[in-house]
């Protein structure tokens, strides 16, 4: 697995260099960018990690970078490190998911603590996305009829009732249930229900939530 990286984004070249050096000296993998657009152009192909970003930058500012990053296939936690903070901006950044909002005069310990928290959070969120993708792939493997049978099972319908609902034989319902359990890799209905809930499976439409 590729090591997580800290991506520093700041248009102030001297501060960008100083922050990158500090983080590298503290044991982090670091990649520096002088503009938000440069980072966003590459972020989907980059290893997972977190972003340490300035707030006021030419072009896309820090808040716009944060909003754009959420919409990519590789979202990462953001730590703002700025010399131009104010309470409304701080509140907005935190409300939209920033890990921390620090003044550029913050201590080394404050910055390193925020980066460690952001990296840990990024790892948890990445694991959650991977599990979600796996669940969606498993549910996508179900045939239309299997999804109909699954909807009935999740509604607590008996095999006989599902057979009547779908106008098929009870034996076919049992076969579809066995196929569902095998494809979703579960052994009990309770486990199946938890998996369906985790995937956001809609028992009325027969599909996972978008």
Tens of pLDDT, residues 67-123: 999 999 999 999 998 877 677 777 888 888 889 999 889 999 999 999 999 999 999
Percent of the chain past pLDDT 90, that is, above it, reads: 73
Are the beta carbons of 62 and 102 closer than 8 angstroms?
A: no
Please say if the pLDDT value at position 1 is more than 70.
no
Interacting residues of 171 by C-beta distance below 8 A, sequence separation 6+: none
Which range among 34-48, 90-104, 149-163 shows the weakest confidence by mean pLDDT? Answer: 90-104
pLDDT, residue 85, reads: 66
pLDDT classification of 208: cutoffs 50, 70, 90: low
Rounded Cα–Cα distance for residues 111 and 134 (Å) = 34
Give all domains of the chain, ordered by start, each with its CATH number: 5-131 (3.40.50.2300), 141-208 (1.10.10.10)
pLDDT, residue 149, reads: 95
Are the beta carbons of 81 and 104 closer than 8 angstroms?
A: yes
- The two tokens of residue 154 are 């999740």
pLDDT, residue 3, reads: 72
* DSSP conformation class of 101: E
Rounded Cα–Cα distance for residues 133 and 130 (Å) = 5
Please say if the pLDDT value at position 30 is more than 70.
yes
pLDDT, residue 202, reads: 80
114: left (phi over 0), alpha (psi -120 to 50) or beta: alpha
Please say if the pLDDT value at position 13 is more than 90.
yes
Rounded Cα–Cα distance for residues 20 and 13 (Å) = 10
Distance spanning both ends of the chain, measured CA to CA: 28
pLDDT, residue 190, reads: 92
User: CB-hemisphere CA count at 13 Å for 22?
Assistant: 17
pLDDT, residue 157, reads: 93
């Amino acid at each position: 697995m590729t090591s997580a990286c800290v991506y520093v984004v700041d248009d102030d070249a001297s501060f960008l260099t100083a922050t990158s050096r500090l983080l590298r000296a503290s044991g982090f993998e670091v990649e520096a960018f002088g503009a938000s657009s440069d980072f966003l152009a590459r972020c989907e192909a980059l290893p997972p990690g977190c972003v340490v970003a300035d707030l006021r930058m030419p072009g896309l500012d820090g808040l716009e970078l944060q909003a754009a990053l959420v919409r990519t296939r590789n979202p990462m936690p953001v730590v703002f490190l700025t010399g131009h903070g104010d309470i409304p901006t701080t509140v907005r950044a935190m409300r939209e998911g920033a890990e921390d909002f620090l003044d550029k005069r913050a201590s080394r310990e404050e910055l390193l603590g925020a980066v460690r928290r952001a990296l840990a959070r990024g790892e948890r969120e990445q694991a959650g996305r991977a599990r979600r993708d796996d669940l969606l792939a498993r549910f996508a493997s179900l045939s239309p009829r299997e999804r109909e049978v699954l909807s009935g099972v999740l509604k607590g319908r008996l095999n006989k009732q599902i057979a009547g609902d779908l106008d098929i034989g009870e034996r076919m319902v049992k076969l579809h249930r066995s196929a569902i359990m095998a494809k979703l890799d579960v052994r009990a209905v309770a486990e199946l229900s938890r998996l369906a809930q985790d995937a956001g499976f809609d028992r009325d439409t027969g599909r996972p939530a978008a």
